């Protein structure tokens, strides 16, 4: 896994927004919307591929770059929300993994993708 510390780019993101006086548009509602729009742009890249074609996408440098751009957009809005709400993302992930482990015990969910309310 390569570099992915959102704190490292947070000051540049904040400066970018501040210089353009864009904080007025960055309500949490709008940031959540922007994140969701970018996630759909990522999805659009894979939309008509088969699953196995999608796994080969890195072989196409143009498409790989498009994916990187959309992931960057997603990460930028994610960072903005974390900044504004003062959330500790690492703690939030650790907590969610723990809660998911309880919802999806290995014994019941191994090798199947059923939702927890359809399990056991």
The answer to the question of residue 44 lying near a second copy (CB under 8 A) is yes
Cα distance between residue 119 and residue 113, in whole Å? 10
The answer to the question of residue 119 lying near a second copy (CB under 8 A) is no
Query: 6 Cβ partners below 8 Å, 6+ apart?
Result: 75, 78, 79, 82, 89
DSSP letter, residue 23: G
Q: What residues from 10 to 39 belong to the interface with a second copy (CB under 8 A)? A: 10, 12-13, 16, 19-22, 24-25, 27-30, 32-39
The answer to the question of residue 116 lying near a second copy (CB under 8 A) is no
Q: What residues from 48 to 77 belong to the interface with a second copy (CB under 8 A)? A: 48-52, 54-55, 57-58, 64, 67-69, 71-76
The answer to the question of residue 91 lying near a second copy (CB under 8 A) is yes
- Residue in 93, 103, 116, 119 binding a second copy, rule: CB under 8 A: 93
Token duo for residue 12: 């540049």
Token duo for residue 40: 């759909």
The answer to the question of residue 101 lying near a second copy (CB under 8 A) is yes
């Amino acid at each position: 896994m390569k570099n992915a510390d959102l704190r490292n780019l947070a000051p540049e993101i904040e400066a970018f927004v501040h210089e353009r006086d864009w904080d007025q548009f960055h309500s949490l509602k709008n940031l959540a919307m922007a994140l969701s729009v970018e996630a759909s742009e990522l999805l659009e890249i894979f939309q008509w591929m088969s699953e196995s074609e999608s796994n080969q996408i890195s072989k196409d440098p143009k498409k790989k770059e498009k994916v990187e751009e959309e992931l960057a957009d997603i990460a930028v809005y994610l960072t903005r929300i974390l900044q504004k709400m003062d959330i500790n993302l690492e703690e939030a992930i650790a907590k969610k993994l723990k809660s998911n482990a309880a919802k999806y015990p290995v014994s019941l969910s191994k090798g199947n993708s059923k939702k927890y309310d359809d399990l056991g």
